[in-house]
Structure 1
Amino acid sequence: MKKIFNWQILYRYPWFIPLCIFFLMIYVYIWALQGLQVDFQLLKDSWPFITDFIYRLFPPNWQVLDIAIKALIETVQMSLWGTSIGAIFSLPIAIASANNVAPLWLRWIANLLQNAIRSIPSIILGLIFVAATGLGAPAGTLALSIYTIGYLAKFYQQGIESVDYRSLESLQVIGASKIQIAQYGILPQILPLGLGYTLWMFEYNIRAASVLGVVGAGGIGFQLKSYIDGFEYTKATTMMLVLLVVVTVIDWFSSKLRRYLESM
């Protein structure tokens, strides 16, 4: 029986597989573009409408700056509590999901729970909690908490799975208990990484909170949507600029802190 494919060609021509992957990626992107059915002529004709909308956003109306700052403070408060609550509940789910810690049956349940949470869009979570608690920041905080669990649990899980297994074996050899292994073997290795992930999630939740305001879940997003609905575009611009400044400052601070934690 003749060989269908001579595998030695892969050793002779190491560029063959990367070339195949390259053409496969091109095909996938062409397939995706065809599925989008993009009308480039329509995009070209829509530029006057886009520029007109952007023109109406300026100049910013600084008379609503005090309202923007109050709404932004509420957004930061929502993000702080939402991230903290989500991080607390994420940790046990992450431990139950990790390949090097939990048994197979528990990993299956924990990963299914993670996937279920991540499959629910944040705006749907906002609608659910607005229906439960009414309009305002409490609904947004609860929505961010659940949203955070889905992502931080996965990040923490990856951190736990990246732990050097030799250090855990050393602790097992000297008779350390499971709690001691977690305290002295796992926690010191994942703490800087986990704190970095948590800071990143806090930063992200500030932007997510502004989206949740669209469904009435409080924060700067609620004010932003109100101004856009009322065609008060210059006031909406003030809200976006204040949000930009704060997100930039938090991004700079968290980047500095993450680099410090990684160097520990």
Structure 2
Amino acid sequence: MKNLPIFSQWVIYLLIFFITIFIYTWALQGIGVDTQVMQDSLTYVSKFLADFFPPNWEVLDIAIKALIETMQMSLWGTTIGAILSIPIAIASARNTAPIWLQWLANFLQNAVRSVPSIILGLIFVAATGLGAAAGTLALSIYTIGYLAKFYQQAIEAVDSRSLESLQVIGASKLQIAQYGIIPQVLPLSLGYTLWMFEYNIRAASVLGVVGAGGIGFQLKSYIDGFEYTKATTMMLVLLVVVTLIDTVSSQLRQRLEGM
């Protein structure tokens, strides 16, 4: 586009602008938003939110226990998912696998990502019963869909010149992986894994809605029982912990990226 005349560039930019406006207008019409209804609903929303305050701190000990269970679910779910993601990522990367294997591995990733976490929770609740075990297994599968893709992108971003240099000096495939691929992939992959652990804590709270344990189960129980002030305590405890984990993991990711 840089080689085009200035007038032609402006025509293209205007065309892109109008296409974008058309797409967003089309999407807004499809949603069917009624602005009058939204204005009237603000009153009801404010009354509903008012029922959540002030928090009921009598259930703080229950919130902490449920949060610990949620973190345990996230830790194991992320770890299992990360381990299973490694071979899938290798099989789906352009620079490490044949095309037929790439297609199969990428299809598997897409299939896993297309299943909502709630559905995974329901499947494993049916298989193992209510509780944290179902949530952990659901998080493991859910994690594969994302970490496998992140790991794949990290592998494909490896500098090919360093791998060629190792091949020239007669390095074996294992040595190429050990000295050429892993040092480049490891910091980025660890950063992705930390992010996924943080995200899974939120996902675990959602899985509690279908009985998969953790703080989400307690949260749903209180909301179903119209005990909104107790639900607020659960959400505040979750907010504090997620914020702390986000701060710590962000610093760790920056250090890993700096490596």
User: Is the shorter-chain TM-score for this pair beyond 0.5, marking a shared fold?
Assistant: yes
2:223 is aligned with 1:228: yes
1:119 aligned partner: 114
1:165 aligned partner: 160
Q: Distance in 2 between matches of 1:178 and 1:17?
A: 48
2:4 is aligned with 1:10: yes
Q: Deviations over 1:127-166 (max 9, x none)?
A: 0000000000000000000000000000000000111110
Q: Distance in 2 between matches of 1:79 and 1:16?
A: 50
Q: Distance in 1 between matches of 2:130 and 2:140?
A: 17
Change (3 A) 1:152 1:10: same
Q: Deviations over 1:191-238 (max 9, x none)?
A: 110000000000000000000000000000000000000000000000
2:187 aligned partner: 192
Pick aligned residue for 1:147 from 117, 142, 147: 142
- Write the mapping of 1:1-264 to structure 2, written as runs, cut at 5 A: 10-13=4-7, 14-264=9-259
- Unaligned runs of 5+ residues in structure 2 are none
Q: Distance in 2 between matches of 1:154 and 1:65?
A: 38
Q: Measure how far apart 1:24 and its partner are.
A: 1.3
Q: Distance in 2 between matches of 1:66 and 1:159?
A: 41
Secondary structure of 1:46's partner?
helix
Q: Deviations over 1:82-120 (max 9, x none)?
A: 000000000110000001111001001100100010010
Q: Measure how far apart 1:123 and its partner are.
A: 0.3
Q: Distance in 2 between matches of 1:231 and 1:263?
A: 48
Q: Distance in 1 between matches of 2:190 and 2:3?
A: 47
Q: Deviations over 1:45-85 (max 9, x none)?
A: 11111001110000000000000000000000000000000
TM value normalised by structure 2: 0.97
TM value normalised by structure 1: 0.95
Does the CA contact (< 8 Å) of 1:10 and 1:16 recur in 2? no
Q: Measure how far apart 1:8 and its partner are.
A: 11
Q: Distance in 2 between matches of 1:46 and 1:164?
A: 55
Q: Distance in 1 between matches of 2:103 and 2:3?
A: 40
Q: What is the percent sequence identity of the aligned residues?
A: 77
> After the TM superposition, which of the residue ranges 10-19 and 99-108 deviates more from structure 2?
10-19
Q: Distance in 1 between matches of 2:107 and 2:91?
A: 11
Which residue type is aligned with residue 109 of structure 1?
L
Q: Measure how far apart 1:19 and its partner are.
A: 2.5
Which residue type is aligned with residue 207 of structure 1?
R
Q: Distance in 2 between matches of 1:177 and 1:250?
A: 40
Q: Distance in 2 between matches of 1:112 and 1:11?
A: 42
Q: How many residues align?
A: 258
Change (3 A) 1:9 1:258: closer
Secondary structure of 1:175's partner?
coil
Which residue type is aligned with residue 49 of structure 1?
Y
Does the CA contact (< 8 Å) of 1:97 and 1:107 recur in 2? yes
- Unaligned runs of 5+ residues in structure 1 are 1-6
Which residue type is aligned with residue 234 of structure 1?
T
